[in-house]
Amino acid sequence: MWEQSRNENGMTLIEVLASIVILSIAFLLLSNFLVRGLELSGKEDSKLVAMNLARQLAESWRSGNGDLKTAALPDDSLRVYASDKLTYPKLAALTDHLKNKEISFPDVEVNERIYQPKLSLSFLDKHNGGYRLDDQTMILITVRVTSPEGQQLAMLQTAVADPRTGGTTP
């Protein structure tokens, strides 16, 4: 009878345990790749959302529709610019008044993540980028979007030319 049981085809307990260990290791490696992929996807999603927020803010300011009503301004005297459409002369006066200080806007929450948009204005001058410019003919708009931890997620720069004078390229 003992001889009959040895001739049966089947798996021993050791073979079953070895199979379970090998499958467990394979599943652990696979889950590690999945977790890292999800983390990377989340980071890229954050950067994409931040860049879209930066584009939206930069374009609204470039088109003269910048809104200062909800912004945290470095100086309360800048509130006079919050009521009107920002034509180029008003934008130039605001740029001169700010002296490269940042304007902070309210936090934006998207997909349970918080984004902090900030904007700064400066004049492009004759020494900036190889352009031949008269004084105050172009304003550089810089938008930064950061996380609450202070990590910069996106930065976008665009320029606005004075429609009365413009600037020329070399």
5 lies in a domain?
no
The token pair that represents 2 in the structure block: 């003992």
Sign of the four-CA dihedral 66, 84, 86, 118? negative
Report pLDDT digits (tens) over 155-167. Answer: 999 988 888 775 5
Examine residue 2 and state whether it is found in any structural domain, yes or no.
Answer: no
Q: What is the CB-side half-sphere exposure of residue 84 using CA atoms within 13 A?
A: 10
Q: How many domains does the chain contain in total? A: 1
Residue 41 lies in a domain: yes
Question: pLDDT truncated to tens, each residue of the chain (170 aa)?
Answer: 455 555 567 778 898 899 999 999 999 999 988 988 888 887 888 899 999 999 999 998 888 888 888 888 777 777 777 767 788 888 888 888 888 789 999 999 998 899 999 999 988 865 555 555 557 778 889 999 999 998 999 999 998 888 877 554 43
Tell me, yes or no, whether 1 lies in a domain: no
- pLDDT, residue 134, reads 58
Task: Evaluate whether residue 83 is within a structural domain.
Answer: yes
Please state the pTM of the whole predicted model. Answer: 0.70
Determine phi and psi for 13, rounding to 5 degrees: -60, -35
Please indicate, yes or no, if residue 61 is contained in any of the structural domains. yes
Give per-residue pLDDT as tens, 51-77: 999 999 999 888 888 888 888 877 777
Cα–Cα distance, 40 to 42 (Å, whole number): 5
| 166 occurs within a structural domain | no
In a domain, residue 104? The reply is yes
Q: CB within 8 A of 84, min separation 6: which ones?
A: 90
Amino acid symbol at 30: L
Determine the Cα angle at 99 with ends 74 and 59, to 5°.
80
Q: Report the C-alpha gap between 61 and 140 in whole angstroms.
A: 11
Domain of 53 in residue numbering reads as: 12-161
> Under a CB-based contact definition with an 8 Å cutoff, are residues 138 and 161 in contact?
yes
